[in-house]
Amino acid sequence: MKLTLRIWRQAGPDAPGSMTTYRVDGISPDMSFLEMLDTLNEELITRGDTPVAFDHDCREGICGACGMVINGRAHGPERTTTCQLHMRHFEDGDTIDVEPWRAAAFPVVKDLVVDRSAFDRIIGAGGYITAPTGSAPDAHATPVPKEAADTAFEHAECIGCGACVAACPNGSAMLFTSAKVVHLNVLPQGAPERASRVRNMVEAMDAEGFGGCTNTGECATACPKGIPLPSIAAMNRAYLRSSLGGGR
């Protein structure tokens, strides 16, 4: 496959950026999108040019590090992570635009790399449970209803990639935050901090400068792990109860 790539290049957080055009040849349809970028970078290094900076780690769709906007869509044309997107989803001769996540709370570090530490601070504000120290409790010590366990597992699948923020026209982090809130709030282990957790995490999210939710639903559509849109409503209900009734 021969492809024309238009990639956002930006030397640093305060440097101006622009789209730069590259042409690559010999791309296998079985390559992942990141392997295709690896091929481009090998050519750039051979020519003595600066390679394109992009985030990656596990390359197995688990870590969420590899986010980028491909042809205007978070992670590209398939509902998956960028590392699991294969070049067979493109046609020979295609022109592909590649950009970083676009959100005020995700400042560009370099090229396609953005700073997503805002997510870490949201989790730090309330993503924990009270647990006694000492030996591990028996597995059956705290019964968990099947429905609650299923809901917790569904929301625990969030990998924090930021696709929801990148896809949202408002740059909202409501889907991410709701996944973290609901994951712990539905479990009996998370009950002691249930009220304070949702308040603290929502307040941390707002403090980071993410936009508000207007229920366009693009976040859930782009989420590679299928976090459901009703999670946001569940978080809003929990936040309202916490605000009206107080609690820990």
Q: How far is CA 121 from CA 6, 48, 68, 133, in A?
A: 33, 38, 21, 24
Pairwise CA distance, residues 219 & 196, whole Å = 25
Q: Judge if 137 and 34 occupy the same domain.
A: no
Whole domain around residue 96: which residue ranges?
3-109
pTM value is: 0.93
Q: Which amino acid is at 160?
A: G
**Sign (positive/negative) of CA torsion 54, 56, 61, 63?**
negative
Bridge partners for 98 per DSSP? 7, 70
Q: Judge if 51 and 124 occupy the same domain.
A: no
Note the pLDDT tens digit of each residue in 186-238: 999 999 999 999 999 999 999 999 999 999 999 999 999 999 999 999 999 99
Res. 248: pLDDT tops 70: no
**pLDDT-derived band of residue 129, with 50, 70 and 90 as boundaries?**
confident
Q: Could you tell me which of 125, 128, 106 has the C-alpha nearest to residue 117?
A: 106
Last residue of a domain, one of 86, 109, 132: 109
Note the pLDDT tens digit of each residue in 17-72: 999 999 999 999 999 999 999 999 999 999 999 999 999 999 999 999 999 999 99
239 within 8 A of 198, measured Cβ to Cβ = yes
Total count of domains within the chain: 2
Q: Could you tell me which of 150, 210, 158, 212 has the C-alpha nearest to residue 181?
A: 158
Last residue of a domain, one of 109, 138, 169: 109
In this prediction, residue 133 carries a pLDDT of 75
**pLDDT-derived band of residue 138, with 50, 70 and 90 as boundaries?**
confident
- What CATH number did the domain enclosing 191 receive? 1.10.1060.10
In this prediction, residue 29 carries a pLDDT of 96
Q: Judge if 131 and 86 occupy the same domain.
A: no
**Which residues does 233 contact at the CB level (< 8 Å), separation at least 6?**
none
Last residue of a domain, one of 76, 109, 142: 109
